[in-house]
């Protein structure tokens, strides 16, 4: 009995030591948009994914889907690469423009193949990060995109995938008396279309994410956390204030994206991850 108690005491002590040694990178599940390291992914995707996993990123968001493959790899192979480096293949940026008259069936076939490839990769979110010119030209064109996204969102739902839209700055322009982004939020079905809000591009567009979180609660399941360069480098974006509304916004996952750099891209995304890990207000 004494030996059993001693063993249990030792195990408990070891668990406390292990817990105390847990680093920041294991405490938060932060993602990386692979567009941030696009040239590295083009040159050597295997080593790039390994480097991101070593940094402590929890998941990746792809930006290299084409013709049924991810960065030239079959869906299962790319998923295995990501998972073998301790990360999850959670989401993906891809999309197709609004079908021209007579091309609807072709577009739906493209989406069906796209969805099946993403399903094969185990991806939970498909995000379209752009909208064709028709969406910025007239309200009728914008409404056509909203209807289109609702259709694609329903297709994704039927396959266990969540569909969403990622903004840039021009969604905050006024079109025929309507702010484009507001119109999209009001004319897409929340059950079928979520929004991946890009904090930096909202600022460039002259808007305030917190106002959107307040007026459209629950719609923003993914955040692109971004600054002009590395996250926190400019000092111009109050990330803490925005995270104060994370629950209201509907946030499920935070994703780092860096598009301009003070360092090599891999170093820039490492610095950005450290910022996120060290920020106490970033809970997930």
Supply the pLDDT for residue 16.
Answer: 33
Kindly report, residue by residue over 39-49, the tens digit of the pLDDT: 999 999 999 99
Q: What pLDDT score does 99 carry?
A: 97
Distance separating alpha carbons of residues 12 and 9, to the nearest angstrom:
5
Which structural domains are found in the chain, ordered by start? 28-278 (3.20.20.150)
**pLDDT range class, residue 138, cuts 50, 70, 90:** very high
Q: Which residue has the tokens 């007579």?
A: 102
SS3 content of the chain, % helix, strand, coil (to 5): 50, 15, 35
User: Closest by alpha carbon to 170, among 202, 195, 193, 129?
Assistant: 202
The pLDDT of 242-257, averaged and rounded, is: 98
Q: What is the pLDDT of residues 42-75, one digit of tens each?
A: 999 999 999 999 999 999 999 999 999 999 999 9
pTM: 0.90
Q: How confident is the model at residue 10 (pLDDT cuts 50, 70, 90)?
A: very low
Mean pLDDT of 235-255: 98
Backbone angles phi, psi at 69, to 5 degrees: -130, 160
Q: Which residue has the tokens 């998923």?
A: 79
Q: Is the pLDDT of residue 135 over 60?
A: yes
pLDDT in tens, 172-231: 999 999 999 999 999 999 999 999 999 999 999 999 999 999 999 999 999 999 999 999
pLDDT, tens digit (0-9, with 9 covering 90-100), for 149-172:
999 999 999 999 999 999 999 999
pLDDT at 26: 52
pLDDT of residue 21: 35
């Amino acid at each position: 009995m004494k030996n059993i108690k001693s063993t249990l005491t030792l195990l408990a002590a070891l668990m406390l030591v292990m817990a105390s040694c847990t680093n920041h990178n294991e405490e938060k599940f932060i993602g990386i948009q692979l567009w941030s390291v696009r040239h590295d992914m083009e040159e050597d995707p295997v080593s790039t994914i390994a480097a991101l996993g070593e940094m402590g990123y929890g998941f990746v968001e792809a930006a290299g889907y084409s013709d049924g493959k991810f960065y030239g790899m079959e869906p299962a192979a790319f998923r295995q690469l990501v998972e073998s480096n301790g990360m999850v293949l959670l989401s993906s940026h891809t999309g197709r423009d609004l079908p021209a008259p007579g091309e609807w069936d072709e577009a739906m076939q493209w989406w069906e193949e796209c969805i099946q490839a993403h399903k094969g990769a185990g991806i939970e979110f498909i995000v379209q990060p752009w909208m064709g010119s028709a969406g910025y030209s007239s309200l009728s064109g914008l409404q056509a995109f909203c209807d289109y996204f609702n259709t694609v969102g329903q297709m994704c739902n039927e396959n266990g995938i969540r569909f969403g839209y990622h903004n840039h700055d021009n969604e905050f322009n006024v079109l025929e008396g309507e702010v484009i982004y507001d119109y999209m939020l009001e004319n897409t079905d929340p059950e079928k279309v979520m929004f991946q809000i890009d904090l930096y591009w909202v600022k460039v567009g002259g808007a305030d994410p917190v106002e959107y979180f307040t007026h459209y609660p629950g719609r923003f399941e993914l955040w692109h956390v971004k600054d002009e360069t590395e996250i926190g480098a400019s000092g111009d974006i109050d990330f803490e204030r925005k995270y104060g509304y994370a629950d209201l916004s509907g946030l499920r996952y935070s994703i780092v994206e860096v598009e301009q750099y003070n360092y090599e891209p891999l170093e820039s995304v490492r610095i950005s991850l450290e910022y996120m890990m060290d920020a106490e207000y970033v809970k997930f």
